[in-house]
Amino acid sequence: MPTNQQIVLDNRPQGEAAADNFKLVSSETPALADGQVLVKHHFLSLDPYMRGRMNDAKSYAQPQALGEVMGGGTVGEVVESKNPKFAAGDKVVGMGGWQTYSVVDANQPGALRKVDTTHVPLSHYLGAVGMPGVTAWYGLVKIINPKAGDTLVISAATGAVGSAFGALAKARGCRVVGIAGGPEKCQYAEKELGFDACIDYKLHKDSASLGKALKEACPKGIDGYFENVGGMVLDAVLTRMNAFGRIAMCGMIAGYNGEPVPLTYPQLILVNRLKVEGFIVSEHMEVWPEALAELGTLVGTGKLRPRESVADGLAAAPEAFIGLLKGKNFGKQLVKV
């Protein structure tokens, strides 16, 4: 069995996460038992939720254990199998974590899924046609539940979730406005992803300024908002929400390092009778087949052209992860193992 390279959580961050919270180690890959398969990872996924797991604190995800391989989504290839459902050469999606190989009990429901790379590149199963894409689908379809002509806004618009959200919302006849950081990202949102407008939050020093930009981009107000950021951005959006608007609360990256994220005008939730619902997509596995079918079609037909930021080599994962938390990535952040 091959030697395995792994990145473990070595110590918990105090304030901001840093690359030295992680440690690169080697281990021997155990021999397979009946029902298990050995997967060689091609790409691993870096996602903002991982920051919360680094803390030993109550959250929607269990804390990451010290000294253990960092958890996370992976795509790769079966290299050895003792399970009749999988054969060497199968391309698969799983939760193999930050390592070169994983040994998976393939009889465990949802542990490993075969994928077809004929029309969808393997890496996209960690982004647009994976967990981020389904996250966008659930927030849009099940919480915002738009009708044609609605104005929808999403923060972190050019990331893996945001780009999928844009394509899904446009397919439903909505006006879609993104919020992203920098002119290059905003141009990509409008020219490549088909957003009707994109606002560069870096041009605005406070929520009042950002709110004015939202008023120009959303002259009829905002019917639905997909929240990834919090802080100043959420304050600005709340001032532009229409009565009976819906907010899908997915992420709050402004508070991932432990800072408080206060709301300036929480009374607007009452005044406008807003529906605000937080969700974790892994708690809604029943929608995944429907969502993945639509997302796969959008990618396969070129209606969704996701962008990826790819760090090279397992050892690059910590620095790429820190960059993701600071918005340095452009599109879905991956590591090519």
62 pLDDT tier (thresholds 50, 70, 90): confident
- Domain segments of the chain as ranges: 3-127+306-336, 131-282
Output the furthest CA–CA distance in the chain (Å, rounded).
63
Chain-centre distance for alpha carbon 226: 13
3-state secondary structure of 238: helix
Q: What confidence score (pLDDT) does residue 255 get?
A: 79
Using the structure block, give the residue that is written with the tokens 């989504």.
Answer: 73
Q: What is the pLDDT of residue 215?
A: 98
**Helix (H) and strand (E) counts in the chain:** 9, 15
Distance CA 266, CA 271 (A): 9
DSSP type of residue 142: I
Pairing assessment for the beta strands 74-81 and 197-200 based on DSSP bridges: unpaired
The CATH label, of 3.40.50.720, 2.40.30.10, 3.40.50.170, 3.40.50.300, for the domain at 131-282 is 3.40.50.720
At 65-95, the pLDDT tens digits run 999 999 999 999 999 999 999 999 999 999 9
- 105, two tokens: 């009990």
- Chain-centroid distance, C-alpha 274: 25
pLDDT of res. 66 = 96
Distance, first Cα to last Cα, the chain: 18
- pLDDT tens for 143-192 read 999 999 999 999 999 999 999 999 999 999 999 999 999 999 999 999 99
Q: pTM for this one?
A: 0.89
CA angle 116, 119, 123 (to 5 degrees): 70
DSSP conformation class of 92: E
Total length of the chain: 337
Q: Which CATH number fits domain 3-127+306-336: 3.40.50.300, 3.40.50.10420, 3.30.360.10, 3.90.180.10?
A: 3.90.180.10
pLDDT for res 200:
98
CA dist 318 and 67 (Å) reads 15
pLDDT at 42 over 90: yes
Supply the pLDDT for residue 181: 93
Instruction: Provide the pLDDT for residue 58.
Output: 73
Q: Does the structure show a pLDDT above 90 at 327?
A: no
Report the C-alpha gap between 76 and 235 in whole angstroms: 41
Asked if pLDDT for residue 59 goes beyond 80, the answer is no
